[in-house]
Structure 1
Amino acid sequence: MLTLIHTADWHLGQSFHGQERHAEHRAFLAWLLDTLAERQADALLVAGDIFDVVNPSLRAQELLYDFIVSAHERLPRLDIVLIAGNHDSGNRIELPAPLMRRLRTHALGRVSWLDDGRLDAERLLVPLTDAAGETRAWCLALPFLRPAEVTGAALARGGAPAASGEAPNAPASNGPASHDYVAGITRVHRQLIEAARERREPGQALVAMSHAHLHGAAVSEASERPIVIGGEESISAALFPPEIAYVALGHLHRAQHVGEPRLRYSGSPLPLDFSEVGYPHQVVAVTLVGEALTDTRAIPVPRPVAMHRIGPGPLDQVLAELEALDDNPELARELWPWLEVRVELEAPIPDLRARVEVALKDKALRLLRLERRLPTVEGDAAADRVDLASLGPRRLFERTWESRWGQPPGEDVLADFDRLRQDVLDADDGDPSDREIRP
């Protein structure tokens, strides 16, 4: 028997409307360590988005490495497998990998290719052992696949590069970028699964871990960044054949299984936006016996800092709700609840914030966001205003192009824009040793 704990989307170092959340993350990691010990888990799987940004603060990195050291001291036989998500720098995740392996921690941030064009699958296969040290399963640890890593004419053909100088991530030259990306992802999965079949022995289970968006999965209201710029936003569950006993997924913050219990998002352990307050946050305990999945069980994560979402409603109603809020003045300030207030107005109120703050006076609460909702008047220019954060760069580009040229951009123009933007994002994911680490 093998017991796994599946978690994902820690987002260490997240700035929550300009406020740090180190106290919450520290409390979660302490709880997770106790949970691993209580359940005598054999392995911990962390399915990406370990950090919130590719260049995390020193304090965020300290949280991760202190946890890994503490876990090894308390559970010397525990296997830990980490993969990079779309928020992470693959290079940074792998930088301390040789040291972390001494702590039975495997950090995978990138895929790489052999000289003949095949996937270097061996480095992505991690043995998972039981308390006696016997290998009971193999983890297919697949970090987030950036288009630049898996697209290109060579990958789309599924064979070795056509010429000695052609790299596996050469620019696509035979079809839309999204088709090339899907072909590259499919090829990576097939080669990794084939390598796992060859490596496993009878009685050993296969466990896949991936940071991706599966067709049919439910996204959160506001907080998940699109995982692929302009390309296919989701992948098919058919990439994981039935012989994969369990698929530990990351990226979507809402805990859920997709189609069948073995395909599971653990969800984020903490709400990462006020829109995520209303559903439970958890880690998943997974039990394998032989090659089969026998049980999955959600373990609710205690919420170290409460989050209140007031409104939307008229000002009088909102003020009454604020005054009725319970608080605990004995709490340390870093544990005071977060607060979002949404007010529906018939006309602008210049001193709105001051009136809200009066209702909160002497309460141990932290007001993070005050949203004003004014009525839309037909013909008012305000009705045409756009929130750039919700619009996104691609849609903004489309609107600008159409405004300038009188027609929407063609697929070739959008493909060029998508590749350019992805290049910009990937450029920020270079070798971290070449950049200053900002505190």
Structure 2
Amino acid sequence: MKILHTSDWHIGKTLYGRKRYDEFEAFFTWLIETIEQEQVDVLLIAGDIFDTSTPGNRAQQLYYRFLHRVAASTCRHIVIIAGNHDSPSFLSAPRELLSALDVHVTGSLSGNPTDEILVLCDPEGNAELIVCAIPYLRDRDIRTAEAGESMEDKSRKLIEGIRDHYAETVSLARQQRAALSSSIPIIAMGHLFVAGGQTIEGDGVRELYVGSLAHVPAGIFPSDIDYLALGHLHVPQQVNGSSVMRYSGSPLPIGFGEAGQEKSVCLVEFDRQISATSPAVRLINIPIFQPLEHIKGNWQAIADRISVLSAENSSTWLEIIYEGDEMITDLQERLQSAIVGSRLEILRVRNNRIISRILDQIDDGGTLEELSTNEVFEHCLSASTIPAEQRTELWHTYQETLVSLNEEDVRAE
């Protein structure tokens, strides 16, 4: 029996305003081909299917079209749990309809842990796998608030609530297995942050429990789980060094911080002739559908790298971080000239030299984040020594640009 573990698709995610539907579609096509090639029996999707709780029409179309294609493939079962980005009610709404296609969805807790336990059967109707499909556990699901609690109390109760829920659910799964066959594997799914997990700056991973330190210790999971399929962290990794406790990671780089990171899905295989409950786990690398690159340095280093990529006819999306000593006030113009005639696109530019100068002008020791956008623009004008006669026209142009961007956001919604 072969099981494919993936998570954190974030369908609908944009990158600095750039829509990425073509990437998602390419990933789904690759995933279907991989399922067919590997003869996968069960697909596990461990949360954060969508990037927002109100996905757009195109995101939904990609999702449902993919499920339909998987249902027509060699894969017999799909198990989906909600992540912290997902709307539990949205995911669960078509649950009964999807179950007819052997797509099992757990959006939220029902109050009865047995609803999270799925007994999956082979084509002959014999039970072959038990899945504890535990969705993202929200604070209100597992902790009762009390007046006068300290942050440490809240964090402790959250961790205890998560531990107790996994313990109860897996215990019920063991009881079901005993009634069926002791050789049936038990898999648990979850969407949470295990303490010590690796993240990358700018990867979009945010704290699950606001105001708490609830990074869950790896030791809370019952030891007799045969495989733990987790979502939330975007870096593919083992949990506590265990080959059978894993984050599959996100299939696409969510931001430039993940550029160059090897993305993968986990293929989990149970072979009864070797061991019915000790799986072999293999990572399958995901192709890069849209190259991203983060270029950082002085002007010469940036220009040289752009020149190399242009010569390679690369279609990479770029993030440029200028950190040279020279005060360059026409950085955008230089960059656009540098990519003329190439397939390169610059999605973000950060001029740290200008930003440093702006911060030097803030007398009260504040930070850039504390300034309004208008205040930042005023400081930019000052830092760039713009002549007074040009400032009025630049200010009006800036305001017109803001209005235009706001109108585009409204239309996109």
- Relative to the length of structure 2, the TM-score reads 0.82
Match of 1:84 among 68, 72, 82: 82
**Counterpart residue number, 1:257:** 238
Pair 1:112–1:386, CA change in 2 (3 A):
farther
SS at match of 2:211: coil
**Counterpart residue number, 2:200:** 220
Q: Which has the higher contact order (CA 8 A, sep 6+)?
A: 1
1:57 CA displacement: 0.8
Q: Distance in 2 between matches of 1:46 and 1:351?
A: 46
| C-alpha contact 2:158 2:214 (8 A) present in aligned 1 | no
Give the helix-richer structure, 1 or 2: 2
SS at match of 1:192: helix
Confirm whether residue 268 of structure 1 aligns to residue 253 of structure 2: no
**Counterpart residue number, 2:277:** 292
Give per-residue Cα distances to partners, 1:75-99, cap 9 Å, x unaligned.
Answer: 3x52000111111111111111111
Confirm whether residue 196 of structure 1 aligns to residue 173 of structure 2: yes
Match of 1:373 among 352, 356, 363: 352
Match of 1:181 among 148, 158, 179: 158
| C-alpha contact 2:166 2:222 (8 A) present in aligned 1 | no
Show the 5 A alignment for 1:25-424. 25-75=24-74, 78-113=76-111, 120-152=112-144, 171-173=145-147, 175=149, 176-200=153-177, 201-223=181-203, 224-259=205-240, 260-290=242-272, 291-310=276-295, 312-326=296-310, 336-374=315-353, 380-381=360-361, 384-386=365-367, 388=369
Please list every run of 5 or more consecutive structure 2 residues that lacks an aligned counterpart in the other structure. Answer: 371-411
Q: Distance in 1 between matches of 2:232 and 2:98?
A: 24
| C-alpha contact 1:151 1:172 (8 A) present in aligned 2 | no
**What residue identity is the alignment partner of 1:56?**
P
Q: Distance in 1 between matches of 2:312 and 2:260?
A: 22
SS at match of 1:325: helix
Q: Distance in 1 between matches of 2:300 and 2:51?
A: 37
Give per-residue Cα distances to partners, 1:301-356, cap 9 Å, x unaligned.
Answer: 0111111222x211122112212214787x9xxxx431111111325322110100
Pair 1:373–1:109, CA change in 2 (3 A):
same
| Deviates further, 80-89 or 217-226 | 217-226
Pair 1:292–1:325, CA change in 2 (3 A):
same
Give per-residue Cα distances to partners, 1:44-95, cap 9 Å, x unaligned.
Answer: 00000100111111111111100001111223x5200011111111111111
| C-alpha contact 2:130 2:185 (8 A) present in aligned 1 | yes
| Deviates further, 64-73 or 317-326 | 317-326
| C-alpha contact 1:182 1:232 (8 A) present in aligned 2 | no
The aligned length equals: 359
1:10 CA displacement: 0.3
Over alpha carbons, which structure has the higher Rg? 2
**Counterpart residue number, 1:432:** none
Q: Distance in 2 between matches of 1:289 and 1:388?
A: 54
Q: Distance in 1 between matches of 2:84 and 2:368?
A: 24
Q: Distance in 2 between matches of 1:130 and 1:372?
A: 58
**What residue identity is the alignment partner of 2:166?**
H
Share of identical aligned residues, percent?
31
| C-alpha contact 1:47 1:83 (8 A) present in aligned 2 | yes
Q: Distance in 2 between matches of 1:222 and 1:382?
A: 26
Please list every run of 5 or more consecutive structure 1 residues that lacks an aligned counterpart in the other structure. Answer: 114-119, 153-170, 390-437
1:273 CA displacement: 0.9
Q: Distance in 2 between matches of 1:136 and 1:174?
A: 48
| C-alpha contact 2:5 2:45 (8 A) present in aligned 1 | yes
Over the residues paired in the alignment, what is the CA RMSD in angstroms?
A: 2.3
Pair 1:382–1:344, CA change in 2 (3 A):
farther
| C-alpha contact 1:42 1:129 (8 A) present in aligned 2 | no
| Deviates further, 283-292 or 16-25 | 283-292
1:129 CA displacement: 3.2
Q: Distance in 1 between matches of 2:119 and 2:22?
A: 33
